């Protein structure tokens, strides 16, 4: 209009434009603030996720190093246990037999440099031993010797007890007869090994013949492997092994890992380095894992070869992205971080056992074949069926009783715990063999010498259980397995202590007047529902002995009730084995009154004397297994031992 006036319409447009600009600025600031907040949040989440990944990788590498090194050190453990089993099963092992056994083991395992046997000798039998070894083993002038300060060896002064090196493979004439008990440090180690049920390791030392100062460790196992004094121990199986081959094998197994590591013995105040990789730096941030070996405390320290660092490249690439992209990455980053945390937690809770296959199911539980993740050992895992409190109480007590037993002829319990679902389980050795029931069903009665060899091992298992106040309650041929274990044939394992109960207890786990056992082998007091003790196991043992010596039950009838009546009221028939002392001993096991039966200690002592008159050798056992078990006549059984299913 040319008058210089502004119309109402123009003012309105200006207000609208100003309002829109403010809104745009506010929106821009809002988007910027939201973008910055989202970017900051995303940066934090990604950093958190990457950090979790790095920590998980470091933990995984450290655990892998520990696992690999521990597996490499299992070889001397296995060998020294095999020597122990060999001596337990054979009673007496000649030098020739020891050499044959050792040559095979040393050839398979080059890290083991020597195997030794050192019996415990009382002063009263020293002269007899020296004469016998000189005559029978052909070792001219053998004597028990002591090491002097100048390094020379002379006949040992008379002492109450000696532990001389009797067998050494490869031969070392200079060390033969060395009394290990003459040196205070070694004697202390021997006493510790005698009291332990597992091998005891020495501190690292250098053998005189090793010019390169290579470290060697000695592993001692007391025989039998039960807590005993030095005087009660038969002797010691000893394995010497060099650390260097184990170091090289460990480094080779871990060469693809981004990892440097060191193994140290930290038992004493001053740590003893055993071995490490060439680029290990103690100044770096270390992961430390414990490793127990032979009663000594070791540790594995690891660090990364190339340091991993978290990066923010993803954050940099998303700064200029849209809000939707940022939100998408936020969800992705948060989800990724949470998933990592869950994965780490799950990994911690999975435990050491991987289920391989289901083996069977019985009244109390389901049995699986499983494998230990660390040492790759096949085991049997029994999981409880049902979740009521009484079943849990029974099952937990079952495990506790089994865990007390350490006799080599008793099936071993390795571990127990709960699954993620709260189900209780325990882990035991997986056996591959033949039950006594299957032996009798397929081959009939056993020859006297072999039956005695097997019955003595069963008695040894029961004797240890009874000493600890544990009774089996279901001794029968199906619960006795004959195996080939560690190269020893006709090695017995007593199964199913799951029905056992502690003698001195007020806890009524099985219920009032509940009969537990198998009628063909039950004692009169068990059939009558009375309180039972270890003598009930002795009665069942007598029934088992009758079966394997005659292939017939003590009493035969057409009904369970009639069988039970006969066990309660009728005298058992006297056996005619050709050994009157044995016949009377087994007849006394079947006495109606528990007080008239021998204890398992008395039974063991008398059977041992009788077996000396009817020896069963490893050569005979090996011939039987090669003739029968390895043919179509009787194939090795791939099933769980019957005792762990029911």
- The residues assigned a catalytic role are 474
pLDDT at position 44, please? 65
Given 3-state DSSP classes, what are the helix, strand and coil percentages for the chain, each rounded to the nearest 5?
45, 20, 35
Distance CA 20, CA 27 (A): 10
Q: Report the share of the chain in percent with pLDDT over 70.
A: 74
Rounded to the nearest 5 degrees, what angle is found at the Cα of 125, between the Cα atoms of 123 and 126?
A: 65
Q: Any long-range contacts for 190-194 (C-beta under 8 Å, 24+ apart)?
A: 190/163, 190/220, 190/222, 190/230, 190/236, 191/229, 191/230, 192/295, 193/220, 193/221, 193/222, 193/236, 194/222, 194/227, 194/228, 194/229, 194/230, 194/232, 194/233
Q: Which of 93, 43, 532 is nearest to 315 (CA)?
A: 43
Point out the least confidently predicted range of 350-364, 373-387, 457-471. Answer: 350-364
Helix (H) or strand (E) holding 67: helix 8-72
Q: Which CATH superfamily is domain 433-500+519-630 in?
A: Transferase(Phosphotransferase) domain 1 (1.10.510.10)
Residue with tokens 């028990």: 144
* Burial readout 527-544 (b: 16 or more C-beta within 10 A, e: otherwise): beeeebebbbbbbbbbbb
Convert the pLDDT of each residue in 6-57 to its tens digit.
Answer: 333 333 333 333 334 444 455 555 555 565 566 666 666 666 666 677 677 6
The answer to whether the CB of 206 falls within 8 A of the CB of 214 is yes
Strand ranges, E, within 224-295: 235-242, 260-265, 272-276, 287-293
Convert the pLDDT of each residue in 408-438 to its tens digit.
Answer: 999 888 887 777 666 777 888 888 888 999 9
Token readout for 268 is 């004493």
**135 annotated as a binding-site residue:** no
Residue 2 has pLDDT above 60, yes or no: no
From residue 98, alpha-carbon distances to 117, 132, 170, 555 in Å are: 9, 17, 11, 45
Residue 512 has pLDDT above 50, yes or no: no
Q: Which of 256, 342, 336, 276 is nearest to 42 (CA)?
A: 336
pTM for this model (two decimals) = 0.46
**Where are the domains positioned within the chain?**
60-305, 346-430, 433-500+519-630
Question: If you compute the radius of gyration of the chain from its CA atoms, what whole number of angstroms results?
Answer: 35
Q: Which of 529, 539, 410 is nearest to 468 (CA)?
A: 410
Q: Which CATH superfamily is domain 60-305 in?
A: CHASE domain (3.30.450.350)
Helix (H) or strand (E) holding 205: strand 205-206
Residue 214 has pLDDT above 70, yes or no: yes
* CATH 2.40.50.140 applies to domain 346-430: no
Q: How many angstroms separate the first and last alpha carbons of the chain?
A: 110
Q: Report the share of the chain in percent with pLDDT over 90.
A: 27
Convert the pLDDT of each residue in 230-271 to its tens digit.
Answer: 888 889 999 998 888 888 888 887 777 777 888 889 888 888
pLDDT at position 575, please? 94
Q: Any long-range contacts for 42-46 (C-beta under 8 Å, 24+ apart)?
A: 42/314, 42/315, 42/318, 42/326, 42/329, 42/330, 42/333, 43/312, 43/315, 45/330, 45/333, 45/334, 45/336, 45/337, 46/312, 46/314, 46/315, 46/333, 46/336, 46/337
Q: Which residues neighbour 631 within 8 Å (Cβ) at sequence distance 6 or greater?
A: none
Most confident of 54-63, 288-297, 443-452: 443-452
Q: Which residues neighbour 56 within 8 Å (Cβ) at sequence distance 6 or greater?
A: 340, 343, 344, 347
Residue with tokens 């002797």: 235
């Amino acid at each position: 209009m040319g008058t210089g006036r502004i119309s109402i319409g123009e003012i309105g447009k200006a207000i609208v434009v100003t309002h829109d600009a403010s809104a745009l600025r506010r929106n821009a600031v809002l988007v910027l603030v939201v973008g910055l907040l989202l970017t900051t949040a995303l940066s934090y989440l990604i950093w958190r996720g990457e950090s979790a990944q790095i920590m998980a990788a470091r933990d995984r590498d450290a655990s892998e190093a520990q696992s690999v090194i521990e597996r490499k050190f299992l070889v001397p453990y296995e060998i020294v246990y095999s020597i122990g089993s060999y001596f337990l099963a054979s009673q007496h092992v000649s030098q020739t037999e020891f050499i044959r056994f050792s040559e095979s083991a040393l050839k398979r395992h080059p890290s083991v440099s020597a195997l030794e046997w050192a019996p415990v000798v009382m002063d009263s039998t020293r002269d007899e031993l020296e004469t016998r070894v000189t005559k029978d083993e052909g070792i001219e002038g053998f004597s028990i010797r002591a090491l002097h300060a100048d390094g020379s060896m002379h006949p040992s002064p008379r002492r109450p007890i000696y532990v001389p090196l009797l067998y050494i493979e490869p031969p070392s004439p200079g060390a033969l007869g060395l009394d290990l008990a003459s040196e205070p440090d070694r004697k202390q180690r021997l006493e510790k090994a005698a009291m332990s049920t597992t091998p005891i390791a020495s501190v690292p030392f250098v053998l005189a013949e090793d010019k390169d100062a290579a470290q060697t460790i000695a592993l001692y196992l007391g025989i039998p492997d039960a807590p005993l004094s030095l005087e009660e121990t038969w002797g010691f199986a000893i394995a010497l092994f060099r650390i260097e081959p184990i170091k090289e094998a460990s480094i080779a197994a871990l060469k693809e890992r981004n990892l440097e590591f060191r193994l140290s013995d930290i038992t004493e105040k001053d740590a003893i380095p055993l071995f490490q990789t060439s680029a290990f730096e103690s100044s770096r941030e270390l992961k430390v894992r414990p490793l127990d070996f032979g009663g000594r405390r070791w540790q594995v320290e690891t660090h990364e070869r190339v340091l991993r660092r978290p990066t923010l490249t993803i954050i940099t690439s998303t700064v200029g992205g849209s809000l939707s992209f940022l939100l998408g990455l936020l969800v992705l980053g948060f989800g990724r971080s949470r998933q990592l945390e869950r994965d780490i937690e799950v990994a911690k809770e999975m435990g050491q056992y991987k289920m391989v296959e289901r083996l069977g199911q019985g009244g109390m539980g389901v049995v699986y074949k499983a494998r230990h993740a660390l040492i790759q050992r096949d085991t049997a895992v029994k999981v409880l069926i049902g979740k009521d409190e009484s079943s849990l109480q029974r099952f937990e007590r079952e495990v506790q009783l089994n865990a007390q037993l350490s006799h080599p002829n008793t099936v071993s319990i390795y571990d127990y715990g709960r699954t993620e679902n709260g189900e209780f389980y325990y882990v035991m050795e997986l056996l591959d063999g033949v039950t006594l029931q299957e032996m009798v069903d397929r081959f009939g009665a056993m020859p006297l010498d072999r039956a005695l060899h097997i019955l003595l091992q069963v008695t040894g298992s029961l004797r240890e259980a009874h000493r600890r106040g544990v009774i089996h309650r279901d001794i029968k041929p199906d619960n006795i397995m004959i195996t080939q274990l560690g190269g020893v044939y006709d090695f017995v394992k007593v199964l199913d202590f799951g029905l056992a109960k502690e003698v001195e207890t007020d806890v009524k786990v099985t219920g009032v007047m509940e009969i537990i056992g198998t009628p063909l082998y039950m004692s009169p007091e068990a059939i009558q529902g009375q309180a039972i003790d270890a003598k009930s196991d002795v009665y069942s043992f007598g029934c088992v002995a009758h079966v394997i010596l005659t292939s017939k039950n003590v009493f035969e009838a057409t009904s369970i009730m009639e069988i039970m009546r006969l066990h309660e009221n009728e005298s058992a028939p006297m056996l005619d084995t050709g050994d009157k002392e044995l016949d009377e001993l087994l007849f006394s096991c079947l006495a109606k009154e528990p007080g008239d039966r021998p204890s398992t200690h008395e039974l063991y002592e008398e059977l041992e004397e009788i077996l000396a008159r009817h020896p069963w050798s490893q050569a005979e056992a090996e011939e039987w297994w090669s003739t029968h078990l390895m043919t179509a006549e009787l194939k090795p059984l791939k099933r769980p031992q019957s005792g762990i299913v029911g």
